[in-house]
Structure 1
Amino acid sequence: MQNKTIGLLGGIGWASTLEYYRLINEMLVARIGPAHSARILLVSMDQADFVAHASQPDSHAIEQFLVGEGQRLRDMGADFFLLCANGAHRFAPAVVPRIGLPFISIVEETAKRVQQSGIRKVGLLGVKQTMAGRFYHDALEQRGIATVTPDAADQDILHDLIYTELVQNIFTDASRKIFLAIIEKLRRQGVQGVILGCTEIPLLIQQGDVDLPLFNTTAIHCEAAVAFAIED
């Protein structure tokens, strides 16, 4: 049975938050039976609010914003929470301790999964803050895994596609081809697998599109949430 109520801090963007709800329910039913559905509390942030706070010169505004939204989840009765966006995890170290709930990190769960696979050189896709930041690189490096990201021009392309299309639930063959071409460049640099480090990317790119192992961060995060929710 489900022993803990799952808290989701989502909405950035809404398309992948919808996928969280679907996957968690499917995974929970697979674990405990078809008579069940998941106990989930959701605080869905307005993406425009998130971006406005995150664009401030220092991180105080976005940290305060995320703490407030997370505390709403706590006050609603969530037993633990997930931040349903890879890029927003760059603020987690400053935010999570102030919310007062157990936290399931998409970064840590993905890094563990890559380590378990035996891969030692992995590609990383996502928004620019994820690819250029250190939070994924450091988590992987601690496990002996090297991280390779696209070059600056390709990072700009991916970032723009994520914000102008994927977070708005727009998925096209043309964009899929661009993502696949960039993955192929990473393969030629020797990566053994690729982290889809934005929760919208798995809505566009699936394992059947690529010969390399893909790490679907959304699914990995949901699996960890379900496992924690049904623990005694």
Structure 2
Amino acid sequence: MKTLGVLGGMSWESTVSYYKLLNDGVRERRGGLHSCPMVMHSVDFAPFAEQMGQNDWESITAGLVRGAMSVEAGGAEALIIATNTMHKAADKVQAAVNIPLLHMADAIAAGAKAVGASSLGLLGTAFTMEQDFLSRPLKENYGLDVMVPDSDGRAMVHRTIFAELCCGKLIDKTREEYIEIIEKIAANGAEAIVLGCTEIGLLVKPEDVSVPLIDTVEAHVELALNYVLK
């Protein structure tokens, strides 16, 4: 098996899911006492969140680069950024290391293929929904169309990610609002919904909605496992 580098802590609520699913996946495929070899660099998320609020992506990128170099020095043979939003810096992170970055867009595309979807709804932070660091590679590399909620929906999703989900707060009323947003996007033609923040899958489950969900934690873990076990 190869050793995986993980940049986590953004937030740690979903990094826990990554860690469990990576180890569960190796055990299921290899059996016995096997688990996933990994080197993790887990950050203090508060400064990153503050820098996002200040649009200080230079500092964020520098922190991610330091983390990537750290896991490479620790023996990692591939790297994942265990969050969607931070893929805004993916190109610069990849340029700083000599190991492959397993990109979230590739994981999402594989998830879309698995459910036979060519038109995707995307939920996430405002950065993920309103900028093109995920939607562009999905369109250019895989021909996938991406739609997002209206302005009120985007504001609600962004706010609750930071105020609730990243703090471990799973609130029924918020779940209901997410379901309403998801069903509206589906009615507008989305064939599957990308839970494009790694905490959303903690709140909304496949049985809650009428449209297939692509949980980016699960999709990203699958991509990583295929590499680790290759």
Whether TM exceeds 0.5 here: the answer is yes
**Structure 1, 51-60 or 105-114: larger mean CA deviation:** 51-60
TM-score by length of 1: 0.94
- Aligned residues with identical type, % of pairs: 32
Instruction: State whether residues 123 and 149 of structure 1, in contact with CA within 8 Å, keep that contact through their aligned partners in structure 2.
Output: yes
Question: Please, what TM-score do these two structures have when normalized by structure 2?
Answer: 0.94
* Paired AA for residue 167 in structure 1: C
SS in 1 for 2:127: helix
8 Å contact 2:7–2:82 — kept in the other structure? Answer: yes
Deviation string 1:139-194 (CA, Å, 9 cap, x unpaired) is: 22122221110011110100010001101111111111010010011122111110
What residue identity is the alignment partner of 1:162? I
Q: CA RMSD in A?
A: 1.4
The aligned counterpart of 2:202 is 203
Q: Which residue of 1 aligns with 2:222?
A: 223
Q: Does 1:42 align with 2:50?
A: no
Question: Could you say if the C-alpha distance between residues 73 and 207 of structure 1 is closer, same or farther in structure 2, counting changes exceeding 3 Å?
Answer: same
- Of residues 115-124 and 132-141 in structure 1, the stretch that sits farther from structure 2 once superposed is 115-124
| In 2: Cα distance, 1:170 partner to 1:152 partner | 23
Compare 18-27 and 70-79 and name the one that shifted more.
70-79
Q: Secondary structure of the equivalent of 1:103?
A: coil
Name 1:22's counterpart in structure 2: 20
Where structure 2 has 5 or more consecutive residues not aligned to the other structure, the ranges are none
Per-residue Cα deviation, 1:77-136 (whole angstroms, up to 9, x for no partner):
111111000010011012211122211111222123314533221100001000001122
Give the length in aligned residue pairs. 229
Q: 1:182 is aligned with what amino acid? A: I
The alpha-carbon deviation at position 229 of structure 1 amounts to 0.7
Gaps of 5+ in 1: none
8 Å Cα contact 1:28-1:226 kept in structure 2: yes
8 A contact 2:10–2:83 mirrored in 1: yes
How many Å separate the matches in 2 of 1:145 and 1:103?
21
Q: Which consecutive segments of 4 or more residues in structure 1 shift more than 4 A?
A: 55-58
What residue in structure 1 maps to residue 95 of structure 2? 97
